[in-house]
Structure 1
């Protein structure tokens, strides 16, 4: 079963689908419901482990899967739904598998398919959340989005008020033909709607630590990120320090941190986070430092590569999200977003 989950995750990637499915209780050829006695909740993996846990531990990277039990009038059905591989093959117990026709085989026997998976990148931020509607977006966030959009498009200032919300969201690059994307939920979604992004995690955590690295305070910020970034900024204790310029005895007051730099760093953490890794963005404040972290491989490979080429990166992990953030005045184009 673990090998099949690996094969289906990799096959879904090659097919450009968000998930692969393993179904018990339906005939392969006729698709007639036959029912099944298989119980994934009672079946054990090796070492008497819970089956779901045992399979999850065997998958690398652990892309995640769901088990659904359907009680149909014609028979009981068990559905395994596994997230597609992304930029690398999914292995089970160290070996990657693939579906070729109706057969399962080792991916290593098909190097051309393996190469395709390694170079395949699905933009998670552009995916449509099928169950989401405009009611899952925060009205105040939409109002703020309109305000920021006007700043970036002053020539349309008189035209924008005549757009209904769906028209505005389409033009701002947050929805696709009115369908709610992961980007729309991330930037404008209600806090309780963040569960629609599961298994991805949409959260920014601010942590305050003392000089002994002991935690003093914390704050969790869930969507809408368009509004929550200001909440995070207000949590940061940006102390006023005094510096003595050369040639005078009168000190100048300065903020400990330039808010423009905080804006750039935090917004770029949102834009570059790999949400498939199910982690949170962290803002850690110490007496002497402000550390911002997000999850995801550095796409150029290393900083030296970026410095040596002296040019913006040609690819981005979430181009749909980045473009939407540009339209909402969250990030700028000078850094090479376009």
Structure 2
């Protein structure tokens, strides 16, 4: 390491795999995590085994020394281990004396092949000396380095057909026939071994991880250890306090039905609104429950050893979560795709589940979930990705009756437009392209991030008053109000103008933004229009007409 330090200090400058930091007393842990992620990923891309972060040295290789203690280094190590994914740590931490000053060299491992390293759910990279997000090209280069083994197709040599549930095999035959009606008579003549091969659950009579997951006896779960075939259902009350729970394991083909039975699917009654809405519907469409749960099973990253969790909240939401990155990268990519996703984490398992009628033809299920929710005027499914988790929230009620009314009265909206308007309704940030699209369609107005429904939508939905409150008036309207006030009362303090104007500024603005807008209007009137003047002080202005 002494030789490596000499080599690092002799470099002309920092690069993708070497970073110098003064860090005389301490170093920000969040920044350290970002650099760890970036340097690990860049070491992988540069085909290096290690990258280096050096404390006590300036960018220009001037040695200034560091007083960071061993206790601090141990705290940094724990922080890195807790928040990186996959979980990694420093290869070594080395303390040297150079020019009479202490220098600490942190040796960082290259990201494992096919696995970009993230810090708190975000993947970082470097462009020369600059820290930034790992770009799509670099992400793909790392992910495509090795063709990952399909965990679900792996054979368990110790297992046999006696480890499978007879009841589950019987149910699998029934579902296979539903999917392949033309083979009904032929399937009846197949032995269990032949059927399992034909249904692509086993391979040449050998038991796979897929066979244990879907058809295995509960006591057979140990064959896939440290992976788990566990789904946990939790019921929480309105205060987010756990009221009940139950764990389910293999055979998941049967237990998916049992989990569905645990969910209390009440009826949702709409407020009568001139027949715009149906009288009542199920809070959760049975298809959505089935699809969301089976998607968790199909796409879980079983190598991470996690379990699938279904949380039923009494505030009318269902939350499904599973381990693993979301491979298509975004929901929009799934919704807009003309063909199914080409890469699957568990291709063998997924194909088996399609064959057993557990999930729709690959790629179409999520789009159908969105359409079902939009037809009920319920909020669309909410997907969250990060920290190698995928979470989807299904809401079983109308959150905003005005928003639902908008959708009901504009039936020509496309699914993409509904998705974008759903983001606006949930106060989610739109990209510049998404905002421009809605503006071009005249569906929203305002400036990002403070977008609101447009006059076109307001007119169609009878919400013209709400539209004016959100959009506000032209600046000239507020200026005239101020001048009329001064004409009537001769002078006005800051408090007077606040009371006059703030309440009628656009509702899309928060309090600070409203105050800032009023300051700008007054500035324009006094400096540009020169229609008013301050006869008081800067701290206590008294405004009068010129």
Q: 2:221 corresponds to which residue?
A: 194
Secondary structure of the residue aligned to 2:145 is helix
Q: 1:296 corresponds to which residue?
A: 324
Q: Following the alignment from structure 1 to structure 2, what is the Cα–Cα distance between the partners of residues 236 and 188?
A: 23
Match of 1:61 among 86, 100, 103: 86
Q: Following the alignment from structure 2 to structure 1, what is the Cα–Cα distance between the partners of residues 275 and 85?
A: 62
State yes or no: 1:316 paired with 2:344: yes
Q: CA deviation at 1:118?
A: 3.3
What do residues 93-117 of structure 1 show as CA deviations (whole Å, max 9, x unaligned)? xxxxxxxxxxxxxxxxxxxxx9697
State yes or no: 1:330 paired with 2:367: no
TM-score, structure 1 length as denominator? 0.64
Q: 2:199 corresponds to which residue?
A: 172
Secondary structure of the residue aligned to 2:243 is strand
Q: CA deviation at 1:256?
A: 0.9
What is the root-mean-square deviation of aligned Cα atoms in Å?
3.0
What do residues 9-28 of structure 1 show as CA deviations (whole Å, max 9, x unaligned)? xxxxxxxxxxxxxxxxxxxx
Secondary structure of the residue aligned to 1:140 is helix
Q: CA deviation at 1:197?
A: 0.4
Flag the 1:179–1:238 CA change in 2: closer, same or farther, 3 A.
Answer: same
Q: CA deviation at 1:293?
A: 0.6
Q: CA deviation at 1:306?
A: 3.9
What do residues 201-260 of structure 1 show as CA deviations (whole Å, max 9, x unaligned)? 110010000111110000101000000001110101111222255446997332111011
1:203-282 alignment, distance < 5 Å: 203-244=230-271, 246-247=273-274, 252-282=279-309
Unaligned runs of 5+ in 1: 1-53, 64-84, 91-113
State yes or no: 1:145 paired with 2:172: yes
Q: 1:19 corresponds to which residue?
A: none
Flag the 1:162–1:305 CA change in 2: closer, same or farther, 3 A.
Answer: closer
Higher relative contact order, chain-length normalized (CA < 8 Å, sep 6+): 1
Match of 1:126 among 131, 147, 153: 153
1:47-58 alignment, distance < 5 Å: none
Q: Following the alignment from structure 1 to structure 2, what is the Cα–Cα distance between the partners of residues 278 and 87?
A: 18
The structure with the larger Rg is 2
Contact kept, 8 Å, 1:89 with 1:117, in 2: the verdict is: no
Q: Following the alignment from structure 1 to structure 2, what is the Cα–Cα distance between the partners of residues 255 and 115?
A: 44
Q: 1:87 corresponds to which residue?
A: 114
What do residues 113-166 of structure 1 show as CA deviations (whole Å, max 9, x unaligned)? x96973321100000011110011011000000000010111111111111100
Flag the 1:260–1:115 CA change in 2: closer, same or farther, 3 A.
Answer: closer
Q: Following the alignment from structure 1 to structure 2, what is the Cα–Cα distance between the partners of residues 225 and 122?
A: 22
Secondary structure of the residue aligned to 1:169 is helix
Q: Following the alignment from structure 1 to structure 2, what is the Cα–Cα distance between the partners of residues 309 and 188?
A: 32
Flag the 1:86–1:262 CA change in 2: closer, same or farther, 3 A.
Answer: farther
Q: How many aligned positions are there?
A: 239
Q: Following the alignment from structure 1 to structure 2, what is the Cα–Cα distance between the partners of residues 199 and 312?
A: 31
Contact kept, 8 Å, 1:86 with 1:120, in 2: the verdict is: no
Q: Following the alignment from structure 2 to structure 1, what is the Cα–Cα distance between the partners of residues 86 and 251?
A: 29
What do residues 44-83 of structure 1 show as CA deviations (whole Å, max 9, x unaligned)? xxxxxxxxxx9xx7997369xxxxxxxxxxxxxxxxxxxx
Q: 1:283 corresponds to which residue?
A: 310
Q: Following the alignment from structure 2 to structure 1, what is the Cα–Cα distance between the partners of residues 356 and 225?
A: 24
Q: CA deviation at 1:180?
A: 0.2
Q: Following the alignment from structure 2 to structure 1, what is the Cα–Cα distance between the partners of residues 328 and 223?
A: 31
Contact kept, 8 Å, 1:205 with 1:221, in 2: the verdict is: yes
Unaligned runs of 5+ in 2: 1-77, 89-111, 118-140, 366-546
